[in-house]
């Protein structure tokens, strides 16, 4: 017959528990479990009963009697009762409250061992999605307080030229230093048609997927000294900036101009903002 130490080790391993987990369930030190499994000591009967409940085994029955505490035999082998003599079926043994509570604790620990990897996996997947839609990458959706969606790629798209129509080419430039982040959009009519500037909309894209929007009217641009009556092949600059420690990841602009026929045309551009 196997020793108590062997039976305990096999029962714990069959239950899929470590020495540390069993020690936590019994509220003892891990080296106490190690001592039992190496035969250096043996727990008392009540503790063995708790272990039976936790590991779903019967160490009092499986282990050699000379390996158990002195009162183990009395606990396992009881005298026949009057009920047995009468032929009636005896009531099944009910686990002690302490053993039941310990079993619940072990089950909760096992449930957490399952849930934690699932939660971590969900977090990793979410992070991967956010990275692929990361700020300033030209992907992803940004929303204003009313829920209207703005996309950097919509501003970055190059508008096709139309024969016989004005066309505004837009160049970009970044000028960063330790305290300021500056950007410049350079607008040039390059198909030989005069236009009148109507307004300039610009959108700041933020790292929390929100936006800030503003508009410069033709009068405001004129007050800043910009030519709103743009001659053929004429050009003007729009310069903006803010402190370097900002949360902006890009700026999109849309320029509206009116040609000689009265038609209003719009042209867009997008500048990704890089940090120093």
Give residue-wise pLDDT tens across range 95-105. 445 545 555 66
Question: Whole-angstrom Cα distance, residue 135 to residue 246?
Answer: 13
For 18-48, how does the pLDDT look when each residue is reduced to its tens digit (9 = 90+)?
Answer: 999 999 999 889 889 999 898 888 898 889 9
Q: What is the pLDDT of residue 105?
A: 61
CATH class of 149-272: mainly beta
Other C-beta atoms within 10 Å of 37: how many?
20
Q: What is the pLDDT of residue 83?
A: 37
Query: For every residue of 117-176, which 3-state class applies, written as one string?
Result: HHHHHHHHHHHHHHHHCCCCCCCCCEECCCCCEECHHHHHCCCCCCCCCCCEEEEEEEEE
- CATH 1.10.260 is held by the domain 4-86+94-115: yes
Question: Whole-angstrom Cα distance, residue 247 to residue 122?
Answer: 27
Q: Where in the chain is the domain with CATH 1.10.260?
A: 4-86+94-115
Q: What is the mean pLDDT of residues 175-185?
A: 83
Q: Where in the chain is the domain with CATH 2.60.40?
A: 149-272
- In this structure, what token pair is assigned to residue 28? 């003892």
Beta strands in the chain (DSSP E): 142-143, 149-150, 168-176, 180-189, 195-206, 211-217, 229-230, 235-243, 248-258, 264-272
Closest by CA position to 235, among listed 141, 175, 168: 168
pLDDT category at 275 given cuts 50, 70, 90 is low
The CA-based dihedral angle spanning residues 148, 150, 155, 157, taken in that order and rounded to the nearest 10 degrees: -100
pLDDT category at 66 given cuts 50, 70, 90 is low
pLDDT at position 2 over 60: yes
Q: What is the pLDDT of residue 65?
A: 64
Q: What is the mean pLDDT of residues 173-188?
A: 86
């Amino acid at each position: 017959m196997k020793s108590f130490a062997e039976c305990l080790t096999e029962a714990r391993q069959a239950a899929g528990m470590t020495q540390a987990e069993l020690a936590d369930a019994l509220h003892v030190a891990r080296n106490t479990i190690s001592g039992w499994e190496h035969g250096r000591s043996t727990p008392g009967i009540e503790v063995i009963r708790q272990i039976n409940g936790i590991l779903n085994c019967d160490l009092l029955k499986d282990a050699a009697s000379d390996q158990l505490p002195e009162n183990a035999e009395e606990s396992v082998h009881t005298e026949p009762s009057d009920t047995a003599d009468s032929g009636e079926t005896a009531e099944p043994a009910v686990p002690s409250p302490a053993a039941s509570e310990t079993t619940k604790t072990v089950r909760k620990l096992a449930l957490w061992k399952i849930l934690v990897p699932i939660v971590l996996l969900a977090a990793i997947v979410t992070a991967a999605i956010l990275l692929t839609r990361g700020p300033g990458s030209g992907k992803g959706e940004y929303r204003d307080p009313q829920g209207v969606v703005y996309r950097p790629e919509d501003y970055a798209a190059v508008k096709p030229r139309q024969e016989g129509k004005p066309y505004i080419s837009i160049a970009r430039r970044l000028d960063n230093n330790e305290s300021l982040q500056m950007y410049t959009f350079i607008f040039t009519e390059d198909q030989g048609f005069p236009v009148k500037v109507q307004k300039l909309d610009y959108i700041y894209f933020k790292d929390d997927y929100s936006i800030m929007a503003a508009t410069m009217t033709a009068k405001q641009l004129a007050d800043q000294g910009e030519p709103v009556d743009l001659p053929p092949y004429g050009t003007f600059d729009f310069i903006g900036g803010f402190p370097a420690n900002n949360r902006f990841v890009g700026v999109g602009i849309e320029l509206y101009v009116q040609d000689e026929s009265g038609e209003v045309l719009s042209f867009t551009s997008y500048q990704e903002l890089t940090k120093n």
